[in-house]
Structure formats: C-alpha cells, structure tokens
Structure 1
Amino acid sequence: MNKVSIVVLVYNQEKFIEKNLRGIFMQKTNFPIELIISNDKSTDKTDKIIRDLLKDVPKNIDVVYTNHEKNLGSTPNFYYSLKKVTGKYVAFCEGDDYWTDENKLQIQYDFLEANPSYSICCHNAKQVDENDILINDNQFSSIENRDYNTLEIYKNWQVHTTSVFIKSSVLESDAFKKTLKDPTLLYFDTILFMSATVSGKMKGMNLTMSAYRRHSVGLSAGTDIKRDLRHNKLDQITADFYKNKIAHHANWMIFTRSRIDFWEAFRKYDFPLAFQHLKWILRKYKILRIYLLK
C-alpha cells in the first residue's frame, strides 16, 4: 500500500496539541502513515506534551519530529515540513485543529486511488472555540459533493486545511514552485490547493471530518493593515501565474484592500504605512481609473 504523509505545524499549542495528535492516532487505515511534526520553537510546554504523546504512537505510524532551535515563522516552517514528505499523498492538520472522523484518511485515500485524474479532495470542517464549543455558524464553509475549480477556491477561500488530501506530486509541479517560493508570504494553504488543481481535478465531499479552532492567537484572527501588505504580495504572485479571471480578481482584491487600508493608516497619521498602500493602489492604475469614473 502507498504511504500517506501527515504534516502538523505547531507553535505554542500546549492546550490543543493532544487533541490534534489523538485525532491522528485514532485513524483506521490499511496503509502506513508518516507523521511529520514541525514545532517552531514553542516557548510553552508543547514540546514536552508532544514527546509524552509519542510514547503511545500506533505501530503503523512513523514519526518525524523536529523541535526547531530557532523560530522560523509559519510559512518557512511549512516549507521545511513539505521537504520531509515521502508519501504518495499528503494530509494536513495544524496543531490547534483536529480530525473528528476515524475514517477520514481512508475515505480520501480510497477516492484518489480510484480516481487518478484527481489530485486533491477536501471536505467540510466544523468551527469550534478554545473550549471545543461549536461556534454559531458551525461550519467553516459549505463543501458540496462535486468538483471545484481554481477560481472558486481562490475567490471563496472555502477549503480548510484540515480537510485537504493531495497527491505529493503536486509539490513538484510548476504551479507549486512558482507560487509558493516566497518565505514571507502570509498564507500558504489556499495557494497550495490552487496549485493542486493545475495538476488534476479537485473533488469536494459533503462530509464533516475535522474541526477548525478559532481563537485570538490564530494566524487569521482579526485585521491588520500592516499584515495586509503581505497579503497583497501573495495576491500579486497569484495574478502573475494564473492570469485571466484569477488575475482580474486578484488585482481587484489588492486595489480594494489597499484603498481601505490607505485611509485607515492616513486617519491614524501613520503616513509611511499609508504611502506603502498608496503604491499598491497606483500599481493598479487601470482599476483606479475605473473606480474614479464610477
């Protein structure tokens, strides 16, 4: 049977990492698993908890655990982990999230094995708070039983990382190498899923098999006009590679985000930051012209 690699990124998640690993350990599979845990120099008790839990790792799971000597940052830590992958397939579950269905991996494995024209599949994820209580809107998004295309993944940001199962060959694709080459990128998950759709088709499954934890220290928590500059960089890389409708949407996103952030920085008298957003606005002069005409 083909091996499946699981990538778990961890940083200061002493409260959550046990539930994460228990969700992996409970998986019922007929294939071997490579568990890649990359601890980005946590300053709490995360490392000790991981080492204690790994004493009870199931026999079908080989563990590759790294406790970094210095903090890399989320995106470089992700790149580091992907270089460790040796399985035919890759699944993801960040340290504060967890899987809820013991058959999750087997279901997705069986689908990709039986459908070689597909390179990626995903499912629904419920949303919980720090205490595992369901959040009002419950699901991260609504994934249907159908194929998804690159544009709608990008426009809707509806695929959660805990739900994704991809062919590792995607990591050698031109789309992956050209769009995920910058260690300063703010996000890396959606742009990876997009690159997978270039290598093959994408299947959505209307099953809820994981939990996404929303909390105050999460990467996507809140808004930040300085952080948005990094988001602009990601959108520009996306526009440059994919062109056409995706590029059009990316350019509108950059312009709209920068226009809002420019005025926000200006009102706060943060003129250097306002100027950085103004430069992005002027780079999108065609969109600016349309906006002014409207």
Structure 2
Amino acid sequence: MKVSVVVLTYNHEKYLEKAIQSILNQDVDFEYEVLIGNDKSPDNTELILQKYSQNPRVKIYNREINLGATKNLLDLLKRSSGEYIAFLEGDDYWTDNNKLKKQVQVLDKNKDYSLCMSESYTVDENNSVIGEKKIEVSEINGVKELYFYRSGIPTGTILFRNIFFKTDEKLESLITASNIIGDLSLFSYLITKGKFYNLKEKMGAYRFITNSGTSYSAMNTYKQDLELEKVVKKVLEVVDEEKVFLELYLNRIRVKLLKNSKSYLKTLNRNERIELIKYIFFMPYYNLKYSNIKKEMRKNEKDR
C-alpha cells in the first residue's frame, strides 16, 4: 500500500460527500486506501457513509462512543498501512486530482523530507473562497521554523511518511495531548525526522467555520490557547530539540492565558507558577529574544 488517506468526521453531513469524492477522484498509478473515522456524529454522517461501504478502497469506522478528535485520529493513524499518510477533515476537500501523485513523487525522490504540503484556499460554509492558507518558504527545517510558520500550514494538504508502524507510547501521548489539536503535535514529532517540503500550488480547500461546533476555528481565543498550551507542554516532554525555545513559546502562551483570566494561575503547579513569574519579571529580555528569533526566520525567508 502506497498511501493511506485518513479522514476525520463529526457532524459533517453538509460537506462529507464533497470531501470523499475529492479523494476518490485522485488520478494515481499506485494503491491507496481511505480510512474514515466517524466520531459518533448525531447528524446523518453515518447514513451518508453507507453509500461508500461497498467501495473496496474505503474503510469506515463508526465509533460507538465519541472519542474526541485526536483519539479518533490516533486510531486511524495506527490502522494505516500505507508508506505515506494523507490527512483530510470531513468538511474540507482537495481541489487538484493530481495532489497525491505530485506529493508522492516529492517524497519518493527526497528521503530527507518527512512531509510534503501545498497551498490551500480558505472557503466558507457555502464553498465561497474567502482567503488562502499558505507559507512563503519552500521548506521548513527544524522546530523553530515549524512554530514560526505553523499557523500557515494547510493541514488538509499534507502527505507524510508513516511513522506509526511500530507502537510508540510517547508519540501516542503527544498526539492526544489535546482533544482538539492533533496537527501541531504530529508536526512537532515529524520535523525531528526530516524537513517539510512546500509545493507552492493550491491543492485543497480549508473550511473556516466560526459560528458553531467543536472545531478549533469555532473556539474562542482563550480556549484555543488552553489547548495549545497542552500540546507545547507535551512536546517539551517528548521532543529533545530546541527546549529553550519551546519553554519560551510556552510561557508566551501562558502570559496570554493569564491576561484573559486571572484564575488561570491556579491551574499551574508550583514550579510552573515560579517559571511564569520569572518570565514576566524578565519579560522585556524574553520579548527581545523572541523578536530576534522572528527576525532570523524572516531573514531566512528572504534568503530562500
């Protein structure tokens, strides 16, 4: 099996068929499978999936209980038999029928890349284009660059080397550190295995929904930062690279959380509170340090 396409869905009845069809429309000369995890959606998602139950490429997992996004994701990743894994949420879709073919060629020819991405349109509930999601550089190299560019990576366009053939409890705990954010956890591990390559062409559509739901884009900023804190905290435990930078990044998140809610401080243990107070006391120094890192990233961007 060359590629496993992992699809997460929850309450995506309006969009799911478009997502699945964009996968099945791929023009490829290799074998691929589609693994769909329906996280006990209360809408008609399960009924829609029945239409694909006889397709030999498609494997459907209707959850008996709601697992949450990252546990649903982890189960599908562990079931994936492909050399490479692609990811798509049930409300997003691909716009290029040659997406998989192009990305497989990149990873086949470049063993020093662990992941290949592309640019993406941003669309609303009615498929109208309202923007784009992309990064300006052609590759990401290392943890610092990943965290600098992370918000611009269109997760629905990625293809990465399958690192889930063997059980890795640390990796699994990282993927499920947050109930909502799985992509940054995965990226933080993959970047230690190789660079990320960016195909600078639009191959997907990311649906940005803010009015309701449990998606990350539908959350308020405070809740988003709480989930992000969980991820970065776990990355510090699992990943052995750029510890100083990651601690700096974590404390910047915690300052934002503290500004939004004074009671947040009570959620930290004694050592975490001490570190945060030290960070706040020396904040001008740390802000300058972070600013210099950003300048370095921008310089690298221009050099490329």
Gaps of 5+ in 2: 287-304
Q: Secondary structure at the match of 1:83?
A: helix
AA in 2 matched with 1:111: V
Find the aligned partners of 1:204 and 1:50 in 2 and give their Cα distance: 32
1:49 corresponding residue in structure 2: 48
For the aligned residues, what is the CA RMSD?
Answer: 2.7
Of 79, 87, 92 in structure 1, the residue corresponding to residue 87 of structure 2 is 92
Q: How does 1:124-273 map to 2 (within 5 A)?
A: 124-135=119-130, 138-146=131-139, 148-157=141-150, 158-169=152-163, 172=166, 177=171, 180=174, 182-216=176-210, 217=213, 218-226=215-223, 228-242=225-239, 246-266=242-262, 271=263, 273=264
Q: CA deviation at 1:151?
A: 1.9
Are the structure 2 counterparts of residues 190 and 288 from structure 1 closer, same or farther at C-alpha, using a change threshold of 3 Å? Answer: same
Q: Secondary structure at the match of 1:108?
A: helix
Change over 3 Å in CA distance of 1:293–1:120 after alignment to 2: closer
Given the two structures, how large is their TM-score scaled by the length of structure 1? 0.85
Distance 1:173 1:203 in 2: 26
CA contact (8 A) 1:8 1:38 kept: yes
Greater Cα shift, 11-20 or 114-123:
114-123
Task: Return the offset for 1:81.
Answer: 0.8
Amino acid in the other structure paired with 1:291 = M
Partner of residue 118, structure 1: 113
Partner deviation per Cα, 1:54-79 (whole Å, 9 max, x = no partner) = 45x4xxx5221100011001111111
Give, in angstroms, the shift of residue 150 of structure 1. Answer: 3.0
**Contact 1:173–1:199 (Cα < 8 Å) also in 2:** no
Tell me how many residue pairs correspond in the alignment: 281
SS of the equivalent of 1:28 reads coil
Query: Equivalent pairs: percent with the same residue?
Result: 29
Relative to structure 1, the CA distance from residue 181 to residue 171 in structure 2 (aligned partners, 3 Å threshold; closer, same or farther) is farther
Specify the alignment match of 1:107 in structure 2. 102
Letter in 2 for 1:125: S
Other-structure match for 1:81? 76
CA deviation after TM superposition for structure 1 residue 262, in Å: 2.2
Unpaired runs of 5+ in structure 1? none
**Within 2, Cα distance between the matches of 1:222 and 1:181?**
19
Structure 1 residues 173 and 207: CA distance shift in structure 2, 3 A = farther
Task: State the match for 1:287 in structure 2.
Answer: 279
Aligned to 2:79, the other structure's residue is in SS state coil
Q: For 2:26 and 2:92, how far apart are their aligned partners in 1?
A: 15
- Output one character per residue of 1:85-113: Cα deviation in whole Å (capped at 9) or x when no partner: 01111000111110000000000111211
